[in-house]
Each structure stands twice: as structure tokens, then as C-alpha cells.
Structure 1
Amino acid sequence: MKVVDLHCDTLMALSKARQSGIEKTFGRNDLHVDLFKLKKGDYLLQCFAAFTDAKNSPSSPLIETLQEIDIFHEIMKVYASDMAPVYCFSDIERNREEGKISALLTIEDGGVTAGDLSVLRMMHQLGVRMITLTWNYENPIGYPATDFEKSATGSFRGLKEQGLAFLSEMENLGIMVDVSHLSDEGFYDVARHARKPFLASHSDSRSLSSHPRNLTDHMLKVLAEKGGIVGMNYCLTFLDEDRDRLRQRGAAETVADHIEHVRKVAGIDVIALGSDFDGIEETLDLADASKMHLLVDALERRGFSTGDMDKIFSQNALRFFREIL
């Protein structure tokens, strides 16, 4: 079963290791994602996020992001016989024909651009093709999904004026708009103003786990209506608030719960995968990128057809990429 994963934080993990004096080879390492594990997991495409915690950056968020982008291009050069970058949809098709895994560069937290459209355009030139508009902090684009409360002024906090300009320019450039981490009102601002489909790269169902990073049933329906996709996140906090039950049943089975629920409320065509590997600590049975067969098994036990699983594991994401890239 070919796999497309919409989000991992492996670039951050590699960069942190390098800064601490430990050089990890991408070919094979102790992280959730490396070339060996991607091959074993039968990956068609992995999205690699350049991410930094803006409030705790030892240098500057922009410098850290550029360092991670540099690592991405270094990986593409060193492992060119096995992986190749994606800048447009035809790259995915060519890479598949050449037997290579595709790698798509993203940014988690558009705030590293300071909301500056010229910086956004430079990120596009560096190969960025998806941006998560916010992380866990307010930035010049908008507000994060940290709670369900109103601001001190009594109004809900969504996209800022500069965020609307950012959204428009991303669509002009062909950069995918990612609403994971964005506030609820920000989600609806994107839904109201976006001219093209958008995605939530690594989120789950709030009906099954009430974390604010997850999407409500109504949000899932809106995402589907707009032609978007949601990547199922393997983070335990997003999967089940009952940690004992989660440990007993396993991550694969619980991710399957979310997939089944999303299919019921919004349809099969909105579902994709967004592991959050190397951005999460404990993963239980979905230990790394080589273990995707466990999720296949969990869905097969529930009666999902091969066609439906193909959509979840790769085809829905590819349809989305084809329209935006």
C-alpha cells in the first residue's frame, strides 16, 4: 500500500542533533523517519516540515528554518538515487517512474516569514510548497488553536488582515494552505476566503478526542465540501483522552477509529495521513514509518476496501496535490 504522509518533523530532529554535536545520517538512524524506514513502509511521498519553536529559538526562527531547509536540500543531494524533491505535480509522477521516493518541503508556522510577502516568495523559490499558517503562538498571520476562548475584546480570533493577504499570495504561488494549528475562527476565515482547496496536514477528530488541535464534525464537512483533505495525526494526545485505553488498544486501532468517524461524517475522499513523526514522542505500535502495515491491518479488520484504503494512504493526497501544485 503506497503511502503519502503530509507531515513529519524530521528536519527539526536532524537539525537539533547537529546543533548538539551529533550527526545523524538520513539513510538510517534512530528517528521515526529515515530512508530505510520509508522504503520498508512503501512510501511514495513524504512531506518534510521545516519547524522551529519561535519563542524558544536560540538564534532566530527564520535562521533555524533556513538551516532545516538547507538540511532538506542536502538530503536531496546525498540520496539523489533514492529520493527527489517535488516542486510540481509532474515531479511526483516522474519520481515514481524512476523508482524514487518523493520529498515535499513544507514550513510549520508561517510566522517565520513575519507575514512578509517577499519572504513568502523567497520560501517558494527555496522549494516550499506547503505552509502551516500558525503553530501554537499568535503570529502576524493569525491565531492558534490553543483554546476555545474569545479574546479580551470579546471577539473570536481568526486570520489577521495580513493573514488574508498571505493566503491570497500562497494561492497565487501554488503553495498549499495548511490549517492545522490554526484557531477555529481562522479555519472558517480560510474557508470563506480561499479560492482553492486547503488542507489540515496533521489533525484528528474532535468528536473522538476534544483537543483544540482536532477538527469538529462541521469543520470536517466544510473541508470536504471545499475539496480539501485532513491528515490523520498519530499523536497520542490527539487520539484518545483516555491514555490507559489507548495503550491497551494501540495507536493503529485508534487512528482507525478516527478514520472511520471522519468517513462517516465527511466521506472517504477527505481522509489522508499526517503522522507528525519526529514531532511526537510516544507512538506505541505505530513506532515509525516502517509500521504502516499495522494501520492497513486495522482498516482491513473493519471492512475497508482496497480502493478506500488506497484513497486514504495516497490517492486523496495526490488528487489534492494535482489541483494545487
Structure 2
Amino acid sequence: MSKSDLIPVFDGHNDLLLRLYNAEATGTGEPEVLFLEGTRGGHIDLPRSREGGFVGGMFAIFPPPLQMEDLSRSMRGASYQLALPPLLGLSDAQTSTLGMASILIRLERRSAGAFRICRTVAEIRSAMSEDAVAAVMHIEGAEAIDPRFVMLDILHAAGLRSLGLVWSRSNAFAHGVPFRFPSSPDTGEGLTDAGKDLVRRCNELGILIDLSHLNEKGFWDVAALSKAPLVATHSNAHALCPHARNLTDRQLDAIRDSDGMVGLNFATSFLRPDGTMNANTGLDTMAQHLDHLIEHVGEDRVGLGSDFDGALVPAEIGDVAGLPRLMEALRAHGYDDALLRKIGHENWLAALDRTFAA
């Protein structure tokens, strides 16, 4: 497939920075080299991004848990409930968060313009027009944010424009859903007072608030408080896969009513009706989730949120170079090129325009 035939993809979520951070910490690779020159491991690097039409997305900074079970091995039974890590201390979270932010900055500096941290939609469009990967700094789990929001101000100045209050664990701000199947996302209490203050501050700064990983009570607290569109960067339809991580139809309707956005997660355990991590998952399953999301939020509010480098994805996609195979499957499913462009990148850029300006 020629480059001109590719549907450009701006993606709602990836965990590249965590993979590169771990490689640096273990001495198994230099982050800039692994990304810019390419590697056989992981899902995303610059050569494969260009091959697959990946033009950018939200690059997550995820403070890793001190210990965590192998999710791919654990999420295979007919039902499961994984024990989640304990609270992560502020110091540990800040160390890893700053480390990943540093990697993001170094990728931009070493890339000779091929990789750019973008703070506005205009900057994203400019990067896309010049064949550069457009990176929006995102936080997945706000454990590194102190009560006075000093770290939030520093990260915002460095480029932070998207923040998930939680990963799937509790912190000072909110409570994440566990990796539980089958399960409702209604698994605990809502936002803390500090979490409500953080939502207000993100609104003031124009930082997108990501609802993925947040439990249902927390979701409704954000919906009642936030002045910005509701956005879930990497979540699927609970009606098709009853995993705690997925969104109910009522939540999807609220996202629609706020003129928000949902990114389809490629993680097979959030796609499959049996909730298992299994790479032998057909792309028709992804199309069915997109059909359901479009039915509830509309074709202008759905995109992709791959979770590349953070999840087991369908083998037919494999990595970022496999994105054209997904687009071809969706075309065969009946999606025309105009809808594919919306899902690929146009809807995300429009949602960020609405959010950054909110």
C-alpha cells in the first residue's frame, strides 16, 4: 500500500514511554535509538509508525505499580478478579513520571523534527502536514500530582494536555476499576475532594480529563463537575464485553450529550465477549464495538485508543504497522473512506479542539 493510500491515524492512547523507560532502567536499550531507528520489540517506533500511517496521539506517562501480576496470563478464565497494587507513593510516582517526561522531551530533541510535542491542535496539524509524529503529553494515573498542584503546573508548562485521574487502582483523587470480569464499572466510591479540585484545575488549564480506568461513581462526579466534554481515550462497550473497564450505554449517552469522545481500545480482554487476553481475536469484534459506540455517541465522536505497548492486541494488527489491516477490515465491514478518516484522526482533532478551548 502506498503512503497516499493510508488513512492517517491519530491515536487516543499508547504506553510507548513506559516501554522505553523500562528499557533504559534495565539497560536493555537507549530510548531515542529504540524509537527513532526501530526495534523488533513492542508496538511503536518511528519506522513502523510511518509504515502504518500513525501520525500521532496521546503518549501516556504511566507511573508503574511496584508489583503487578502478568495481566496476559491472569485474564484468561471464564471469570477473574485481579488483585491490584497498593497505593503508589508520591516520591516513587514523581520519579517515574519525570523520567518518562524526560524521554518524551529527548525524543523530540533527537528526532530532527520527525517527532514533536504538541500543545495545540494547530501544532498537531502542522506536524501531520510535515510528516512528523505529533505527540500530546498525557498522564495515566495522577499519583505524581501533589496536593498544591505544583507538579501539575510544571508538567503543563512542559506540554501536558491530557490527564487520567487514575489507572486501575486508588489514589488521592479517585478510584480506578479493577481488572474484573464479568463486572459492572460501579466498583467503589467517587472522587475525593482533592479529585474534584483537580478536575476544576484541569478545566482552568484546558487539560483533557480522561475517564478511562475511572470507576462509575467517579465518572458521574466528573460529568457533574467538569465544564469540558467527557472523554474516554481507550475504552469499549460494556454491552458487548461486560468488563469493569468498559463503558455502559448510559455512560456512552452522557459522553454524546457532552459532545465528548471515545477511543476504541485494542486490548483483547476489553473486546472479546469472554473477556480474555487472546491474540486470536478477529477484527470483526473491533468493528462490532465501533458499531455500538457509533450508535450511542455518533460517528463524529468515535476514534481509536489502541493501548499499543500496554496491552495484548489482535494478532492480525500486531503493531502500529498493522493499522492499515484494521482500516481494510472496517472498509469491508461497510465503512466508507469519509467515516474511516473521522475514526482515524478527524474526530480526535475536533474533540481536542473542543477540550483545549473549554
What TM-score bracket applies, with the shorter chain setting the length?
Answer: over 0.9
For 2:63, the equivalent position in structure 1 comes to 52
Residues 245-269 of structure 1 deviation map (CA, whole Å, 9 limit, x = unaligned): 976552x222111001111222212
Would you say 1:81 and 2:141 are equivalent positions? no
- The question of whether the paired residues in 1 share the 8 Å contact of 2:185 and 2:245 is answered with no
Gaps of 5+ in 1: none
Would you say 1:323 and 2:354 are equivalent positions? yes
Mapped partners of 1:181, 1:194: distance in 2: 17
Give the counterpart letter for 1:284 in structure 2. Answer: A
Report the CA distance shift for 1:283/1:114 in structure 2 as closer, same or farther (over 3 A).
farther
For 1:141, the equivalent position in structure 2 comes to 173
For 1:39, the equivalent position in structure 2 comes to 50
Report the CA distance shift for 1:63/1:260 in structure 2 as closer, same or farther (over 3 A).
same
Between the aligned residues of both structures, percent identity stands at 28
Give the counterpart letter for 1:257 in structure 2. Answer: Q
- The question of whether the paired residues in 2 share the 8 Å contact of 1:253 and 1:295 is answered with no
Alignment of 1:1-325 (within 5 A): 1-24=7-30, 25-27=34-36, 28-29=38-39, 30-56=41-67, 60-146=92-178, 148=184, 156-242=188-274, 249-250=281-282, 252-325=283-356
Report the CA distance shift for 1:282/1:94 in structure 2 as closer, same or farther (over 3 A).
closer
Shift of 1:115: 4.3
Shift of 1:270: 1.8
Q: Note the aligned Cα RMSD (angstroms).
A: 2.1
Report the CA distance shift for 1:264/1:77 in structure 2 as closer, same or farther (over 3 A).
same
- The question of whether the paired residues in 2 share the 8 Å contact of 1:87 and 1:127 is answered with yes
Task: Provide the TM-score with structure 1 as the length reference.
Answer: 0.92
Mapped partners of 1:149, 1:301: distance in 2: 33
Mapped partners of 2:106, 2:258: distance in 1: 36
Gaps of 5+ in 2: 1-6, 68-87
Partner-residue secondary structure (3-state), 1:286: coil
* Alignment length (residue pairs): 320
Shift of 1:150: 7.2
Partner-residue secondary structure (3-state), 1:46: strand
Mapped partners of 2:246, 2:144: distance in 1: 23
Shift of 1:93: 2.3
Task: Provide the TM-score with structure 2 as the length reference.
Answer: 0.84
Partner-residue secondary structure (3-state), 2:168: coil
Mapped partners of 1:22, 1:246: distance in 2: 27
Partner-residue secondary structure (3-state), 2:143: helix
Shift of 1:283: 3.6
Partner-residue secondary structure (3-state), 1:64: helix
Report the CA distance shift for 1:168/1:259 in structure 2 as closer, same or farther (over 3 A).
same
